[in-house]
Amino acid sequence: MDANLNAFLDMIAFSEGTSTVAGSDNGYNVLVGGTLFDSYADHPRILVHIREGLDSTAAGRYQLLERYFDFYKKKLNLPDFSPDSQDAIAVQQIKECNALQDIANGNIQSAINQCSHLWASMPGAGYGQRENSLESLLSAYQKLGGTLP
């Protein structure tokens, strides 16, 4: 992967709050809400109550829901929920949003806009959860080694 794609993936983990969880494996073993799971053999498949009206199976660095893991595991022929598998799924999702070229070119605002429906923490996601500002994500992206045009 190139530096911009790596920085974009790191920015997603920053945005989702997984990479900053104390004791985590750079976010790869984080359940929604910030607790940790201990096996990468499979998606942890734990339904977490977030608040009234919101339960989620989101897990891993990119907070992937159980049902999406099952789909991508089959589609990409993945063996497990390891960091490599989680990265492969995130890259595939970015590809499906037609954002890979924007990331390669440093057009991160456009890439964020194209991917915002995938990650609740991104600006404009619209899931009624905490959303980060575009400015904070662009700043994080650059601090994580990404370049802008």
Can you give the residue ranges of every domain in the chain?
Answer: 3-143
**Which residue in this structure is represented by tokens 């992967």?**
1
Phi/psi for 84 (5° steps) reads -60, -40
Q: Which active-site residues does the annotation give?
A: 16
What residues form DSSP beta bridges with 54? 51
CA pair distance 58, 63, nearest whole angstrom: 5
**Tens of pLDDT along 76-127?**
999 999 999 999 999 999 999 999 999 999 999 999 999 999 998 999 887 8
Q: Which two tokens stand for residue 25?
A: 């494996």
Residue 1 pLDDT exceeds 70: no
Mean pLDDT of the chain: 95
**Topology adopted by domain 3-143:** Lysozyme (1.10.530)
Q: Report pLDDT for 85.
A: 98
